[in-house]
Structure 1
Amino acid sequence: MHNEFLREGNEIARRINANDLACEIPSGSTLALVGFGGMGQCDKILRVIGQTFKDTGHPTHLTVFHTAGQSDRSNGIEHLAEEGLLSRVIGGHWGLAPKMRRLIEENKVDCYCWPQGQLTHLLRAMANKLPGHISPIGLGTFVDPRIEGGKFNERTKAKEDLIQVVSLNNEEFLFYPSIPFDYVFIRGTSIDEKGNITTEEEPLKLEILSAAHAAKAYGGKVIAQVKYEANSDSFHPKDVVVPGYLVDGYVLVEDPEIEHRQVPSTVYSPIFSGDVRTPLQSLAPLPLDIRKVIGRRAVQELSASSVVNIGIGIPGDVIGPIVNEEGLSQDFTLTLESGVVGGTPLGANEFGVAQNAAAILEHEYLFDYYHGTGIDMTFMGAAEIDRIGNVNVSKFGTRTIGGGGFIDITQPAKKVVFCTTFTSGGLEVSLEKGKVSIRREGKIKKFTRQVEQITFSGKYAAEHLKDVMYVTERAVFCLSKRGLVLTEIAPGIDLERDILQQMAFQPIISDSLKEMDLRLFKMGPMNRKTLTK
């Protein structure tokens, strides 16, 4: 790159033109991106790189490394989703990135899918210039090289295994290798004349410091995207998230509405950066539907003083509002994998952000807790469930989604509650007079004999005596060493017609099979004001 916009020695970080940056990236480079869903990504930089490739055919054959999914269906990593621009992608999730998914599904790029938390922790291993990161997370899942090795399309299956199984003290681990970066793109709110970066208007801190350290350890360049320039020594030292000596250059945003939105729904709100707290009564209760029924039954598993995680999908959309409606939010600690602690989570493509958060931690440090201590309880979605309790949320046919932080959180969790509709594809259900009636059955049976891809290993969970539940609108199952056990059935549901005939396998039916709580299916709060100890 041109020396006129990259720091040398003790020079200050310099403002650079995004077009110049795109032109100077050598073909074959490895780029690391930081972001989470529709938040925190460097949209201006990525958009210009993508447009430069379209206009000039340069650069080509880039490798992109990213931890979390980075798109709201139109921005973020989608700007780079061009055949020829990319040759390899190593990441965690592409559920909201349709263009990138198409490249993967059509075998236009090599694609490795690794657990999100392992990717964040690999950054810290790289920062120490270690050969890689060792963890048990991923054993028994599609990440395990004895199963798929995280290779996410047909093109990649013929390529080398990057992940290895290693043994230490007679215990198995997975080894995730370091991936040296040529550039890392990080996002902040403000930068001073010495290159110090703050994140005051960002909704999340993410892993920008670890990513910067990782790049520097291998001689890579750290480029920041920011909204504001500030005088030297004008920041409070505790507000500096990335010190200036790590930053080589920065791109200043000219149109935040397009290039630097705080969350997909707004350019900036002090609510999402934690600067304004909203009254709880301003959060309207959810309408009564099957998603709320599923969330309510899951919430009944909460116990007082628990530390809890919720995942994207039904849990992310409904658990927070239900807890708020029931007045239970002070009885336990809620966390989101993005680093958020407390508050009421946003759902859909703004998953990862919460109103009234108690703390916003660095992305990778919350995964320390998930991996080391193990969350007391996690609520997760499920797309396929099989007879031994395996769950697939990552790949269906040629449709590539990725696991995100799912494996990192569910594998060491003390209790896992999967939340899903019983079938999908046109399912219509009525909730009348406290009973469930299937008006039209879904075309797709989610309870299948064998999942297409193992994102959660039922065998691993059963061997380690994990407490695992599968909650639907019409039935509840738990995991045993013998397989799935049907423990509850909804009022109005016929066991044979609505459950057994809609499964591809015969579950174990509990001797104490009971009816689901009638309060789940009625309007108004359940009036569960306290949690069990």
Structure 2
Amino acid sequence: MPNKVVSPRDAAALVHRGDTVTTSGFVGAGVPDGLLKALADRFAETGEPGGLTLLFAAGQGDGKGRGLDRLAAPGLVERIIGGHWGLIPALAARAVAGELAGWNFPQGVISHLFRDIAAGKPGTLTHVGLETFVDPRREGGRISAAATDDLVELVSIGGAERLFYHAMPIHVALLRGSTADERGNITMEREALILDNLAQAMAARNSGGVVIVQVDQVVAGGSLCARDVVIPGALVDAVVEAPAELHPQTYASQYNRYFTGRYRAPEDGAAPLPLDIRKVIARRCAFELPVGGVVNLGIGMPEGVAAVAAEEGLLAHVTLTAEPGVIGGQPASGLDFGAATNTEAIIAQNQQFDFYDGGGLDMACLGMAEADRQGNVNVSRFGTRLAGAGGFINISQNARKLVFAGSFTAGGLAVEAGGGALRIAQEGRARKFIEAVQQVTFSGLRAARMQRPVLFVTERCVLELTPAGLRLAEVAPGVDPARDVLALMGFAPCEGEPRPMDARIFTDAPMGLRGDLLEIPLSRRVQFDAGRDLLFINLSRMAIRDRAAIAAVRAAVEAALAPVGRRVDVVVNYDLTRIDETLRHDWAEMVGDLERRLYGRVTRYSGSAFLRRQLGETLEAGRRGTIFDSEAAARAALRG
């Protein structure tokens, strides 16, 4: 077989005028900077190739000229379909100005589009993007009037609305790995992420295009372990060995062995975050962490939740993830974002979005730049400044529970936290809760209609989404609700009496959150809501190990309903509940007794399909009804 190693100049010559080019990378991880530089240098010298179409999923850049902004010279790129634009300001400015045709699609959609192009499909069919700016009934993802083509259309499948994103042939894939042999086989042992390299290579190959891969070392043909090969040499046309300065592991780290997933970092080395506005917000968000659940943390303000979880001893009890394929461990921040230490697994980006889009996330914590009275959120477009949606739409539309995190105002805001209270030292100049957002990246109306639990967490208050719009749910100690909250909103939230935020959030000491989330007393697990006339029984993460535990649950239910004096409807949360195999008959007898004496209608739910099946057998599902997969579904069934 021929030696596929070529010079950067020869690799750039494989790109022709008018080609559609796709690139790998997430922020600064996995970006083929050597290939991008070679392409830009060739255009500067010869004016070729020119007129390119650029297709990328995740943001690839540092905001200072690296990454895709290397291709910003006028005439080199003519069209761009991209997921996140905030790190490529030069290209973004040209797209906003209409100097090139630009579209902003969800990152996960483009990630899946690579796979669908590889499979010869006409495009990607999905619910992701409905009722956001990507929906053709709004903007169709267009960035300016220069984007004239209809690349996404609304369709109906089985009576349900879906979006269909059109496929296109990929002529060139510019990818990146760690080691190549002379035959073009590629491994990724020193990369922080796998991303969509294989899907992109297949898409280009099956489109009749070429695949060019940048690596940091080349070895003899046939010397790589087959199980380590991520991109087979049969898919690769050319390999370029890049110098270290054009092949950093991320834009913040030349090389961090812990990002590879092959080594574990000491877990007690990080100092706690200072008690500033970011930590205050992250702390309140951490109260929502589903112990035993799977969580996505977005870039920016939500990054602090991982540090708070580590400080509170919760990292071992939640599985944190990031959209490029990281599962478990502690996600990194800044220009390391996307990488993580002490991971459980690193999978392909398109597979991660399969999991996300299907509802696999128990919770997501995402940033917010603007929110309005309906609960719509904008993180993608602010006048002439284009940030792009990235994975935000996939994640926010599909997580079972959603927490938006951000400061209440922006531009000069200064606060002081301590002694269990918050003081506004200087108010921000810009309001973030406004009458109507500039662009709908998240549809509050859709989420409310689907009964999704959504919170908006700031340093001074918490708002929650209701069918009627946003409601003020909590206010920080030391904050005047009228002066510091309501007067600074562009709309009046729904009426309701807010409760105080937990004072521990504003105290410079560990909050003891681990005990709160792991050791919930029965008195808090069994609650009768007189306003809704419902009994809520929260058995989440509870272990039933002996008959005394069964008796305690029975007694707690009887005590909660004794003052009511009649049958009531009941919703039971069985998320991650563990019932000892030898006690299943006793548990079923106790439940049956409560149903006969005290319950009206009863519904149950658990996020685990295995547990739903097991509980169905324990509780004789044919007699007691379906065990649902979410609280919203259980409540809806109760109303029905």
Q: Which has the larger radius of gyration?
A: 2
Correspondence 1:340 to 2:326: yes
Q: Deviations over 1:178-231 (max 9, x none)?
A: 121110011010111321110000000101000011111110111111111122
Report the equivalent of 2:72: 81
Alpha-carbon shift at residue 24 of structure 1 (Å): 4.2
Q: 2:57 aligns with which of 44, 62, 67?
A: 67
Correspondence 1:263 to 2:254: no
Question: 1:27 is matched by which residue type in structure 2?
Answer: R
Alpha-carbon shift at residue 509 of structure 1 (Å): 3.2
* Distance in 2 between residues matched to 1:13 and 1:65, nearest whole Å: 29
Check whether the contact 2:376–2:442 (CA below 8 A) recurs between aligned residues: yes
* Distance in 1 between residues matched to 2:317 and 2:263, nearest whole Å: 22
* Distance in 2 between residues matched to 1:206 and 1:470, nearest whole Å: 30
Correspondence 1:308 to 2:299: no
Question: 2:152 is matched by which residue type in structure 1?
Answer: I
Alpha-carbon shift at residue 351 of structure 1 (Å): 1.0
Report the equivalent of 1:215: 204
| 261-270 or 479-488: bigger deviation | 261-270
Report the equivalent of 2:511: 526
* Distance in 1 between residues matched to 2:250 and 2:149, nearest whole Å: 38
Correspondence 1:107 to 2:64: no
Equivalent residue runs for 1:200-239 within 5 Å? 200-239=189-228
SS at match of 1:501: helix
Q: 2:130 aligns with which of 110, 121, 139?
A: 139
Q: Deviations over 1:125-170 (max 9, x none)?
A: 11111110100000000000000000012322xx021100111110
* Distance in 2 between residues matched to 1:27 and 1:494, nearest whole Å: 61
Alpha-carbon shift at residue 275 of structure 1 (Å): 2.5
Q: 1:178 aligns with which of 158, 167, 170?
A: 167
* Distance in 2 between residues matched to 1:82 and 1:64, nearest whole Å: 13
SS at match of 1:267: coil
Measured at CA, do residues 401 and 13 of structure 1 come closer, stay the same or move farther in structure 2, by a change above 3 Å? farther
Alpha-carbon shift at residue 60 of structure 1 (Å): 1.1
SS at match of 1:409: helix
| 97-106 or 444-453: bigger deviation | 97-106
Report the equivalent of 1:21: 11
Alpha-carbon shift at residue 53 of structure 1 (Å): 1.5
* Distance in 2 between residues matched to 1:262 and 1:372, nearest whole Å: 31
SS at match of 2:218: strand
Alpha-carbon shift at residue 25 of structure 1 (Å): 2.2
Unmatched segments (≥5 aa) in structure 1: 1-10
Correspondence 1:470 to 2:456: yes
Identity among equivalent positions (%) equals: 43
Correspondence 1:191 to 2:180: yes
Alpha-carbon shift at residue 373 of structure 1 (Å): 2.9
* Distance in 2 between residues matched to 1:15 and 1:528, nearest whole Å: 54
Correspondence 1:246 to 2:232: no
Q: Choose between structure 1 and 2: higher helix proportion.
A: 2
Q: Deviations over 1:323-349 (max 9, x none)?
A: 100000111111110101111111112
Q: 2:467 aligns with which of 481, 492, 508?
A: 481
Unmatched segments (≥5 aa) in structure 2: 519-539, 541-640
Q: Deviations over 1:360-407 (max 9, x none)?
A: 111111111101133110000000000000000000001111000000
SS at match of 1:402: coil
Report the equivalent of 1:31: 21
Alignment length, in residue pairs? 517
Question: 1:306 is matched by which residue type in structure 2?
Answer: G
Alpha-carbon shift at residue 13 of structure 1 (Å): 5.4
Question: 2:144 is matched by which residue type in structure 1?
Answer: N
| 46-55 or 11-20: bigger deviation | 11-20
Correspondence 1:517 to 2:502: yes
Equivalent residue runs for 1:105-504 within 5 Å? 105-156=96-147, 159-253=148-242, 255-256=243-244, 258-316=245-303, 318-504=304-490
SS at match of 2:154: strand
* Distance in 2 between residues matched to 1:327 and 1:39, nearest whole Å: 28
SS at match of 2:201: helix
| 192-201 or 165-174: bigger deviation | 192-201
* Distance in 1 between residues matched to 2:495 and 2:301, nearest whole Å: 26
Question: 1:139 is matched by which residue type in structure 2?
Answer: L
Q: 1:54 aligns with which of 32, 36, 44?
A: 44
SS at match of 1:84: coil
Question: 1:387 is matched by which residue type in structure 2?
Answer: R
Correspondence 1:91 to 2:75: no
* Distance in 2 between residues matched to 1:231 and 1:466, nearest whole Å: 54
* Distance in 1 between residues matched to 2:16 and 2:320, nearest whole Å: 44
Report the equivalent of 1:7: none
* Distance in 2 between residues matched to 1:23 and 1:222, nearest whole Å: 13
| 271-280 or 464-473: bigger deviation | 271-280
* Distance in 1 between residues matched to 2:108 and 2:3, nearest whole Å: 30
TM-score, normalised relative to structure 2: 0.79
Alpha-carbon shift at residue 14 of structure 1 (Å): 1.0
* Distance in 1 between residues matched to 2:504 and 2:20, nearest whole Å: 54
Check whether the contact 1:325–1:525 (CA below 8 A) recurs between aligned residues: yes
Q: Deviations over 1:39-98 (max 9, x none)?
A: 101101101111221222222111000000001223110111111111111010011222
Report the equivalent of 2:633: none
Check whether the contact 1:12–1:195 (CA below 8 A) recurs between aligned residues: no
Question: 2:138 is matched by which residue type in structure 1?
Answer: I
Q: Deviations over 1:402-453 (max 9, x none)?
A: 0000000110111000001000011111113222111211111000100000
Q: Deviations over 1:457-484 (max 9, x none)?
A: 0011011111100000000011011000
Alpha-carbon shift at residue 265 of structure 1 (Å): 2.3
| 143-152 or 20-29: bigger deviation | 20-29
TM-score, normalised relative to structure 1: 0.95
Check whether the contact 1:91–1:112 (CA below 8 A) recurs between aligned residues: yes
RMSD: 1.2
Question: 1:29 is matched by which residue type in structure 2?
Answer: D
